Amino acid sequence: MQFIVDGPDIPEALLQAHEEGRVVFFCGAGVSYPSGLPGFKGLVEQIYASNGTSFTDIERAAFDHSKFDATLDLLERRLPGQRLAVRRALAKSLRPKLRRKGAIDTQAALLRLARSRDGALRLVTTNFDRTFHAAAKRMGQPFPAYPAPMLPIPKSSRWDGLVFLHGLLPESEDDAALHRLVATSGDFGLAYLTERWAARFVSELFRNYVVCFIGYSIDDPVLRYMMDALAADRMLGEVTPQAWAFGDCEAGKEHLKTIEWEAKGVRPILYRVQPATHDHSALHDTIRTWADVYRDGVQGKEAIVAKHAMAQPQDSTLQDDFVGRMLWALSDKSGLPAKRFAEFNPVPPLEWLLEAFSHERFLQRDLARFGFSSVKEEDAELRFSLVRRPAPYDHAPPMTLASSGSMASRWDGLMFQLARWLVRHLDDPRLIIWIAERGGQMDSRWISLVDSELERLATLERDGKVSELDLIRLDAPKGVPDPKMRTLWRIVLGGRLKTPLSGGLLYRWIKRLRREGLNTSLRMELRSLLSPKITLRRPFVWDGEVADGADETVRIKQLVDWDLVLAEDNVHAVLQDQSKGEWEKALPLLHSDLQQLLCDALGLLRDLGEADDLVDRSYWDLPSITPHWQNRSFRDWVSLIELLRDAWLAVRATDESRSTLMAQAWFEIPYPTFKRLALFAASQDNCIEQEQWVDWLLLDEGRWLWSQCTAREVLRLLVLQG
């Protein structure tokens, strides 16, 4: 994630390890650039200048090949004062310009970053200067110093302080301390090869901590010695955590730089530096901002949330990945940044859910931030989002063969707060479409939150508390759903959205019917399989494009595009071949079940504005009650009409008087579909008396005689019985 615009993208794994206190920052000369101190190359040049000498041919060759430690070693051998002259010149060259703006801000930031939540400081530098001491003095937070070769054991129980791995300049003249500085190739040989005290420290450090290098260049000889020590351990089979390094890079050379760093066994965190400049402000600003956020703890993350809550996620870029910052802040295990987001006024836009929160940008390495311990087996295919992610073991349901009901995972604080935020968007149809696109089933706790909010809003409206409702709309313009949206929410909360099933359930039901015959359990299961459902999709137009005065049917269709379906797919195709055996015996017994299912289907159409006492869409979806080639059955819900018709015919075959009573009752049910069924029954011989069906047609000044909804059945009736 990026802490600043155009800054380096810090990996989530490093951020999480730092939060857990497992990161040790390894600081090189680059952190001291703002105070006017040179890098290794500049230091060598200043030492030569201080001693009034120039490079010999062999020294120039070593210098030009960036072997600065070897260059100093050659110089020490050549100068009359030898070692001491070089060391005194070195000390003279490392006097920081503390009056410069931001001279020691990076050191102060690193001192904050390197201090764990329990107050222990674990920081390493290969610099000799005392800029960290100056920063600590300004902060009023002195620290224990461990100058080489008196190094601590790099374990959390035995280490609290700043390690000067290659020595520390003395506060006053001290030739003995200058001799202990690791500056020449000979010094490095003693520290890493002969006496190996530096190599042992580095090896142990890499075993116990995640190391992050700051202020080193790719060809830094200091870095080379440390990585050689690490490579030796790895060759012996040592397993160490991934090491990271901040590295500068010119635009377009990212891939090449990445290869160079990874060849050293380090994963780079690249930041851009303009060609022919030494502007490393992206690094220093990042470290300072990171330290400020870390210092402020949860409040620092809440500040990130407050800064970006009202932004549009689609505006996030590679140069300014504020979405990454937001996701990092929200995933804090305390849930407090998420609570700030949920309660932020005005309410953050729903685009956060539709884009950033639903995007599966997280990989296996991101599991730790969501409460998982380390997972050893690599799963390259695992991807998840903020709102759909694996549950840690203490939130996951148990594996079981039987349970008392719902086995959904428990929410963490983040998920609960996100659900609270979404309750403030109940008038936005995109939220319902989002639910439908992900299976249509809401978590029971989210259902409870939405239902409670709808009840609260209904109470305010019933009590006439207009000012309170206006206040809600002020902070959440989509917080109070209108009647159309409440209709849709009733469908969602009532479990009426179509959900993906495993498939083949109706085939399994038919096999059981053949094996067992119709029983109560099978009857109830069939009602579940044939229960009417709604599918939702994105509409072609949104409600903002609805003309004023349009009826509610048009409005709902423009909010969401929907279809009436059945819980099981392909009902017509599955059942049309079941004409004999147990199905034939069961049909007359299923009449009341099928009739109620059809009533429920028409009731859903009524709720959605496409059915009432006078008009429904059955004549369009099923042109003829009588089997006909125009009945394409492309709308599966009309299978209920055909099944009810077949059940009635099965009853009529054995009990004509009962079938007549059924048909007469159909005409009293307030939907044109049942009028059509009644008229179909009347077209059968010896079913309905002529006087009665004539009265039906003349009712309400001949409404059903001339209605388009019943035209097909009226004409067949007149042909067959007229």
What value does the CA radius of gyration of the chain take, rounded to a whole number of Å? 38
Query: Residues 6 or more apart from 16 whose CB is under 8 A from it?
Result: 366, 368, 369
Q: What is the pLDDT of residues 186-202, one digit of tens each?
A: 999 999 889 999 989 99
Note the pLDDT of residue 629. Answer: 82
The two structure tokens encoding residue 231: 């490579």
**Helix (H), strand (E) at residue 529:** helix 520-529
Residue 158: is it exposed, middle or buried by C-beta count within 10 angstroms (0-12/13-18/19+)?
Answer: exposed
DSSP characters over 17-78: HHHTT-EEEEE-GGGGGGGT---HHHHHHHHHHHTT----HHHHHHHHTT-HHHHHHHHHHH
C-alpha–C-alpha distance, residues 574 and 476, integer Å: 48
C-alpha–C-alpha distance, residues 491 and 450, integer Å: 13
Note the pLDDT of residue 548. Answer: 42
Q: Strand (E) positions, 505-650?
A: 532-537, 561-566
- Contacts of 358-364 with C-beta under 8 Å, sequence gap 24+, read 358/385, 358/386, 358/387, 358/388, 358/434, 359/385, 360/384, 360/385, 360/388, 361/327, 361/385, 362/12, 362/386, 362/389
Q: Are 578 and 635 in contact (CB under 8 A)?
A: no
Q: Strand (E) positions, 250-292?
A: 266-272
C-alpha–C-alpha distance, residues 146 and 159, integer Å: 10
* Percentage above 90 pLDDT, the chain: 72
Note the pLDDT of residue 547. Answer: 42
Q: How far is CA 553 from the centre of its chain?
A: 35
Is residue 374 pLDDT above 70, yes or no?
Answer: no
DSSP characters over 567-586: SSS-HHHHHTT--STHHHHH
Is residue 482 pLDDT above 90, yes or no?
Answer: yes
Cα separation values, 484 from 161, 267, 480, 488, 557, Å: 64, 54, 11, 7, 10
Q: Please name which of 367, 385, 368, 251 lies closest in space to residue 318, comparing C-alpha atoms.
A: 251
Q: What is the pLDDT of residues 612-660, one digit of tens each?
A: 999 999 999 999 999 888 877 678 899 999 999 999 999 999 999 999 9
Note the pLDDT of residue 375. Answer: 62
Q: Are 350 and 430 in contact (CB under 8 A)?
A: yes
> 173: phi > 0 → left, psi -120 to 50 → alpha, else beta; which?
beta
Band of pLDDT at residue 546, cut at 50, 70 and 90: very low
Note the pLDDT of residue 276. Answer: 76
C-alpha–C-alpha distance, residues 650 and 251, integer Å: 79
Instruction: Report the C-alpha dihedral over residues 320, 324, 327, 333, rounded to 10 degrees.
Output: -120
Is residue 404 pLDDT above 90, yes or no?
Answer: no
Ordered strands of the 243-249 beta sheet: 145-147, 161-164, 122-125, 23-27, 210-214, 243-249, 266-272
Q: What is the pLDDT of residues 70-104, one digit of tens each?
A: 999 999 999 877 788 899 999 999 999 999 999 99
Is residue 571 pLDDT above 80, yes or no?
Answer: yes
Higher pLDDT, 502 or 519: 519
Note the pLDDT of residue 371. Answer: 80
Q: What is the pLDDT of residues 205-244, one digit of tens each?
A: 998 999 999 999 888 888 887 777 777 777 777 778 889 9
Band of pLDDT at residue 545, cut at 50, 70 and 90: low
Q: What is the pLDDT of residues 295-338, one digit of tens each?
A: 998 999 999 999 999 999 999 888 889 999 999 999 998 999 99
The residue type found at 353 is L
C-alpha–C-alpha distance, residues 359 and 388, integer Å: 9
Residue spans per domain, the chain: 12-36+100-289, 38-93, 505-531+567-721
Note the pLDDT of residue 201. Answer: 92
Note the pLDDT of residue 317. Answer: 87
Q: What is the mean pLDDT of residues 32-45?
A: 93
Note the pLDDT of residue 679. Answer: 96
Instruction: Specify the 3-state DSSP secondary structure of 164.
Output: strand
Q: Are 152 and 135 in contact (CB under 8 A)?
A: no
C-alpha–C-alpha distance, residues 511 and 532, integer Å: 23
Handedness of CA 48, 51, 53, 55 (dihedral sign): negative
C-beta neighbour count of 680 within 10 angstroms: 24
Out of 134-143, 234-243, 604-613, which region has the weakest mean confidence (pLDDT)?
Answer: 234-243
Q: What is the pLDDT of residues 655-692, one digit of tens each?
A: 999 999 999 999 999 999 999 999 999 999 989 999 99
Note the pLDDT of residue 405. Answer: 65
Q: Which residues does residue 212 pair with via DSSP β-bridges, in sequence order?
A: 25, 244
Handedness of CA 592, 597, 600, 605 (dihedral sign): negative
Query: Residues 6 or more apart from 66 whose CB is under 8 A from it?
Result: 41, 219, 221
Instruction: Report the C-alpha dihedral over residues 286, 291, 293, 299, rounded to 10 degrees.
Output: -170
The two structure tokens encoding residue 606: 């009524």
The overall average pLDDT reported for the chain is: 90
* Percentage above 70 pLDDT, the chain: 96
DSSP characters over 187-228: HHHIIIIIS-HHHHHHHHHHHHSEEEEES--TT-HHHHHHHH
The two structure tokens encoding residue 298: 């949860």
Task: Pick one of 3.40.50, 3.30.390, 3.30.310, 2.30.30 as the CATH number of 12-36+100-289.
Answer: 3.40.50
